Amino acid sequence: MAQGTLYIVSAPSGAGKSSLIQALLKTQPLYDTQVSVSHTTRGMRPGETHGEHYFFVEKHEFEQMIAEDAFLEHARVFDNYYGTSRHAIEQVLATGVDVFLDIDWQGAQQIRAKMPGARSIFVLPPSKEELDRRLRGRGQDSEEVITRRMAQAVAEMSHYAEYDYLIVNDDFDLALSDLKTIIRAERLRMARQKARHDALISKLLAV
Ligand SMILES: Nc1nc2c(ncn2[C@@H]2O[C@H](COP(=O)(O)OP(=O)(O)O)[C@@H](O)[C@H]2O)c(=O)[nH]1
Ligand SMILES: Nc1ncnc2c1ncn2[C@@H]1O[C@H](COP(=O)(O)OP(=O)(O)O)[C@@H](O)[C@H]1O
């Protein structure tokens, strides 16, 4: 069976990447696409569930997992650890399912180095003012956290050129449609590549 594709999605906090990925998953059959659940040492926000939004772990547990080489990638973001567990991703990709990683630019660099077949998408907000409004509108972070995330946004956005695709999340439905177009184009590319390989193999093996 063909391997699934790994999609990296990054954005400054509040740009709307989680909303876009969740909306995409609602429209794709479950067997086709999955989102990876990361481990983090940050505190749980109101409305978040352990095992659904993140696996919330203590710092010493996270460090133990690093020591055991359990992460495909991990990084420190906003003073907390975040990481993608190797086990979950590799097993799912092997079954032909596409997997989405909602990770920062540091994690994206580590994944690209290890898995050159991964495709990466950067989500931009339409303006700094709108990014600030969305962070506040989400109503889940303190003023101090919002100020830090706005300052970090510039650092995150400075890595936009490392990504294969850019999406501006101004009108949500348009941004979602862009995301679906990217996935359709990638699936077509993979299907064409497979057809070329199959044709070559049948010629090479012909007696
Ligand atoms: N490298 C890495 N970054 C992650 C991972 N999980 C989440 N992040 C990133 O950490 C940042 C903060 O995430 P979070 O605390 O959920 O805040 P939010 O993005 O504002 O909802 C975002 O840029 C995420 O993309 C992970 O497993 N690895
Ligand atoms: N295109 C959009 N227009 C207006 N609000 C949006 C749009 N996309 C997302 N939002 C809102 O912005 C806030 C931040 O979105 P979220 O998906 O949590 O961002 P991220 O995962 O990038 O931190 C949420 O309240 C979400 O409903």
Question: Distance from CA of residue 129 to its chain's centroid?
Answer: 24
**CB of residue 106 inside a 6 A radius of ligand 1:** yes
Instruction: Name the nearest CA neighbour of 119 among 3, 4, 6, 12.
Output: 6
- Can you give the pLDDT at residue 207? 82
**Residues 67-70: contacts with CB within 8 Å, 24+ apart?**
none
- Poorest-pLDDT segment among 31-40, 80-89, 92-101, 141-150: 141-150
**CB of residue 169 inside a 6 A radius of ligand 2:** yes
Residue nearest to atom 2 of ligand 1 (CA): 103
Q: Does 1 have pLDDT greater than 70?
A: no
pLDDT classification of 15: cutoffs 50, 70, 90: very high
pLDDT tens, position by position, 110-133: 999 999 999 999 999 999 999 999
Number of the ligand 2 atom closest to the C-alpha atom of 169: 1
**Which bound ligand lies closest to the C-alpha atom of 102?**
1
Which contiguous run of DSSP H or E holds residue 83?
A: strand 80-85
Q: Does 191 have pLDDT greater than 70?
A: yes
**CB of residue 172 inside a 6 A radius of ligand 2:** yes
**CB of residue 138 inside a 6 A radius of ligand 2:** yes
Would you list the domain boundaries of the chain?
Answer: 6-36+98-205
pLDDT tens, position by position, 44-102: 988 899 999 999 999 999 999 999 999 999 999 888 999 999 987 988 899 989 999 99
**CB of residue 137 inside a 6 A radius of ligand 2:** yes
Whole-model pTM: value is 0.93
Which among 102, 124, 138 is the best mutation to test ligand 2's pocket, defined by most ligand atoms within 8 Å of the CB? 138
The domain 6-36+98-205 is placed in CATH, from the list 3.40.50.11540, 3.40.50.300, 1.10.1060.10, 3.40.50.10260, at: 3.40.50.300
Q: In this structure, what token pair is assigned to residue 130?
A: 């709108």
Interface ipTM: 0.96
